[in-house]
Structure 1
Amino acid sequence: QVTLVYHGYTNITNVQIYPVESSPFIVTSNTQTYSFPIIIPGQEYTLTFIGNITPNIPLGVYDFYIQVYYTINGIEQVQDVTVQIPIMGYLQFYAQSSISGIVFPGEHDLPVILTIFNTGNTNAYNVTLFTNSTYPIDFMAKVTHIPIIQAGSSYSVQLTANIYNNASIGTYQIPLTILAYGKYYSLNLSISINSNQSIEGEILNPNIILSEGPNSKGVTFQLSLIYTGPVNIESYSVELLLPKGITNVTGGSAIYFFGGLLQPESEVSIPINININNVSLGSYSIPVKIVWNAIEGEGSVVSITQYSSFSLTLLGTSNIQVVPSSSLLYAGTVNNITLNIRNTG
């Protein structure tokens, strides 16, 4: 709104008033015209013009121009009138995050929805959001451009992030930075880690004892696992590296097992079939490599490799044979008999 006062000493007639489009004010002059047949000295009018403000301008006081066409004493005149208009809006931001499901250490491609609120009284155009990677979260995109955050409104963006492997349960304040109209705004974003479980499993029988010994073929036993991770497993594989002298049934030095879908806390029994060749009795450490193919983040499958081991103890079996060295005994006398005791186990 503009208040126009005529300070002349003579009546003016055929008055036409037009707004002039000049930065930062964007108005349409041919549709916003005021006409008055006559204006007398001291007369005052309140005029309303509708327009837009050029984006990305600094706050301050700007000149708005009006052209007044009129006739005085039979002569047509034009006068430019300058009106100073302050643009004194302000910006104020805060941020919120939204993460669905379980958030756990080592998670990859986690979708995080960031919502930036503008509680100021002016629109923010061409906003730049800087996402800092701070424990326990690492954002994949460091810079995000936002076209506009309207006053009293918000704007949401979805980013992906990885969670640190050593993250602990808790709520963390993550610093963010916003750049708008050449000014930096510092924000804090709350991120919660709600699980301390990672994608891994555990061998339930880490000490396996067999009664078989050297030169035993087709020896079978079960290796028991439990999956302790927080999310479903789409598939997994287990690889056992056998020590020298122990082979799989085809003579190879490794055993492979492949499994399908697992839910958290699922137990698995893996059948093992080996040949024990000419080896010594005792304990052997068997390295185990497990690859968990987990469904993470936005549904992508991430492969996590875990290394473990178990001990395999070969006790063998005893077979005692007692054989006398002589079978001839004399009646009525004391006979000395030599016994040969042999363990053929």
Structure 2
Amino acid sequence: MNYRCAHRWAFPRWGAALSEHTDALAAPSGHEVSVRVTHCGMCHSDLHIQAGGFDMGGGKLTSLERAGATLPLTMGHEIGGEVVEIGPEVSGVALGDKVIVYPWLGCGQCAVCLRGDDHLCPRAARNLGIQLPGGYADMVRVPHSRYLVPIGTLEPARAATFACAGITAYGAIRKLNPMTAEDHVAIIGCGGVGMTAVALLSATSQARIVAIDPDPAKREAALRYGASLAFDPNEDGALRTIGKACNNDIAGVVDFVGAESTSSLAVNLVRRTGQVVIVGLFGGEFRMPLPMFAIKSLQITGSYVAGLEDLRELVALAQRVDLPQIPLDLRPLASVNQALDDLSHGRVIGRVVLQP
């Protein structure tokens, strides 16, 4: 294989379909590492990236161009593969290592990065798959070897999804207070990330898991992967039905959709002193009567992926514990446009993983 050439799928303008491109790659310098991509998970946020931004409510859209993204753009931030070239200053990584790539890059020097939260870097946050070419390709250039996490004997396709779906779910559920076997935790949205959260919660918590999703196939899958109850939020009287089934005692809700309707459902479902963790980026505005913050003594928290050390911890957990395995839909990279269409229309159960 020619390691100085990358074949990638990118879109030439916002909202356009992806087409194949070929780029020459210089030899890696400094701390750079070249990774031959073997698997790349597909994330729902890729649909927003392809569109050019996220819905901020009131007709406002963020601009990925202002955030440093340039066209043609190669998406893909759940990257797994093999180290094939290393720069002269790289240490701790060897040719042939099987790794997953942490895609949320920071400056590496500020206090936020030094504590392992590169994804929240206030100085120079960049993402593989947005500002830098991502994993919808056969090769990816990683700026520093510190962002590579060895996977050992883990299944490569599944390990690749840890870089976003895994740590996003892991980071969100870790924000919940400790739960007992009497507590209910509701998961809103049982796509790839929400389903991962159901599986991780079932393996790490005693709480009763309540899955909420309009798709009956996803509700059924959630019940297989650890949920005790499952509900359609679009049914008449859903709020009352869910509350009654849980004795109006839902301690925490994690919203993996992040829409106006789901955030409203979350704050109305949770009990007094309960927690709401908002993860999804569907978009819109959060609305709630201000007195209810105090009256219900709510804790409302945002959660954006998770840190590099969280990824290392999740890999270690998966090596130590037999975690429930959500469905993976393996597809060739050349089918990326159809896969994105299936994702946008809710036809994916679990996670699509592309293979170059």
Q: TM-score, normalised by structure 2?
A: 0.20
Higher RCO (Cα < 8 Å, 6 or more apart): 2
Structure with bigger helix share is: 2
Structure with bigger strand share is: 1
Larger radius of gyration between Structure 1 and Structure 2: 1
